[in-house]
């Protein structure tokens, strides 16, 4: 069975199949020529690094350690969502109050959240900080604690309060927690980027993390997700997976045809998804040994992902391994080909 997700019509591909009879008899059509099969081996661990990968050049465009940023701000015009860096185990507690002396500084573990990995604007840990209406924006001014997970719970390190957003910038303030003085920051928009990234370190500053949004396709990273126990209980968990560039990159999954069988002519068979975590982490299985507290990962080589990149080309991609030559996990090997 071919796994189909959100219905996104590949208009360009369908057009190629429906208008072929409209050309004059003496007009020759250049045949479609697929690309060469490529392999890429990641040399830095997904547990500690984020890698922004471009399919067209078979290269990592930029790479950074998980710990270099804490917050990111949607940079495109009209967007206003703010995200927390779950790749470095940061989480958010919404105090529900705009007054410091009313903040519960020891919230229960289940009150802490991170962003949903699907990437929708309303999936942010800071959802609700601003509401839009016809006349003016309404800001909750709620104080959010920002804390890091240590394996047992979250320890708050910062308090944040988001003040305003417009077509040019965000305005917010931050303080060390518990108790200090607010410092105000502005985050400018950049139309070439999906996000602007911020670190509170070194006095607080905007840093460059991701490349221009037309230069990369896939982000290989650790991130927070919600997994379900055998009893169906939703449980926060940190996974290693692949996220799509929000600048039009889409994907579908084929688990029926073999990698070698999939061709350009099969594209109309797929329904593509723009969901950020469509590829996600489910391209591998894990077997956990509770006695030794170890886990062994096996990639699902029968899973082939069909990907439309930022340039509009289509690729088929599968995972070959999750281990490097030393047997260390977190180093994926991918095989792919432009259709």
User: Among 26, 133, 53, which residue's Cα sits nearest to residue 310?
Assistant: 53
pTM of the predicted model as reported, rounded to 2 decimal places: 0.87
269: left (phi over 0), alpha (psi -120 to 50) or beta: alpha
- Confidence grade of residue 31 (pLDDT, cut at 50, 70, 90): low
**Beta-bridge partner residues of 21:** none
Q: Report whether 306 contacts 315 (CB < 8 A).
A: yes
Average pLDDT over residues 121-130: 90
What CA–CA distance (Å, rounded) separates 225 from 187?
27
**Beta-bridge partner residues of 251:** 273, 307
What CA–CA distance (Å, rounded) separates 61 from 74?
20
3-state DSSP helix/strand/coil % of the chain, to nearest 5: 10, 40, 45
pLDDT for 307 beyond 70: yes
What is the per-residue pLDDT for 236? 81
Tens digits of residue pLDDT in 248-306: 999 999 999 999 999 999 999 999 999 999 999 999 998 887 777 788 999 999 999 99
Tens digits of residue pLDDT in 138-196: 999 999 999 999 988 999 999 999 999 999 999 999 999 987 899 999 999 999 999 99
Token output for 258: 């073999």
Q: In the chain, how long is the greatest CA-to-CA distance?
A: 80
Q: Report whether 279 contacts 241 (CB < 8 A).
A: yes
Q: Report whether 198 contacts 187 (CB < 8 A).
A: yes
Could you tell me the residue ranges of all domains in the chain?
Answer: 11-19+34-65+213-338, 90-205
Average pLDDT over residues 17-46: 67
Q: Is the dihedral of CA 170, 87, 151, 111 positive or negative?
A: positive
pLDDT for 16 beyond 80: no
- For 258-311, give the DSSP string: -GGG--GGGGGG---B--TTSSBTTTEEEEEETTTTEEEEEE-TT-EEEEE-TT
What CA–CA distance (Å, rounded) separates 249 from 216?
9
Phi and psi dihedrals of 54, rounded to 5? -110, 120
């Amino acid at each position: 069975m071919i796994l189909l997700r959100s219905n996104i019509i590949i208009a360009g591909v369908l057009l190629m199949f429906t208008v072929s009879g409209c050309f004059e008899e003496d007009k020759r059509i250049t045949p479609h020529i697929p690309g060469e099969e490529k392999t890429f081996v990641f040399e830095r661990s997904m547990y500690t690094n984020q890698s922004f990968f471009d399919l067209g050049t078979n290269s990592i465009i930029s790479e950074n350690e998980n710990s270099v940023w804490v917050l990111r701000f949607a940079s495109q015009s009209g967007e206003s969502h703010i995200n927390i860096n779950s790749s470095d185990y940061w989480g958010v507690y919404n105090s529900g109050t705009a007054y410091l002396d009313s903040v519960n500084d020891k919230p229960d573990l289940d009150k802490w959240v991170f962003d949903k990995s699907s990437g929708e604007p309303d999936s942010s840990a800071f959802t609700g900080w601003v509401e839009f209406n016809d006349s003016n924006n309404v800001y909750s001014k709620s104080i959010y604690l920002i804390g890091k997970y240590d394996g047992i719970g979250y320890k708050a390190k910062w308090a944040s309060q988001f003040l305003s957003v417009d077509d040019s910038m965000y305005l917010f303030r931050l303080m060390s927690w518990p108790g200090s003085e607010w410092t105000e920051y502005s985050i400018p928009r950049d139309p070439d980027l999906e996000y602007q990234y911020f670190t509170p370190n070194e006095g607080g500053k905007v840093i460059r993390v991701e490349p221009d949004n037309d230069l990369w396709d896939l982000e290989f990273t650790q991130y927070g997700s919600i997994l379900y126990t055998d009893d169906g209980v939703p449980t926060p968990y940190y996974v290693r997976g692949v996220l799509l560039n929000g600048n039009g990159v889409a994907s579908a999954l084929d688990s029926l045809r073999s990698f070698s069988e999939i061709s350009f002519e099969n594209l109309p068979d797929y329904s593509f998804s723009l969901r950020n975590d469509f590829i996600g982490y489910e391209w591998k299985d894990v077997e956990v040994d509770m006695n030794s507290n170890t886990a062994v990962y096996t990639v699902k080589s029968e899973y082939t992902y069909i990907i439309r990149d930022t340039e509009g080309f289509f690729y088929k991609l599968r995972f070959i391994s999750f281990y490097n030559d030393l047997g260390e996990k977190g180093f994926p090997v991918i095989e792919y080909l432009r259709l």
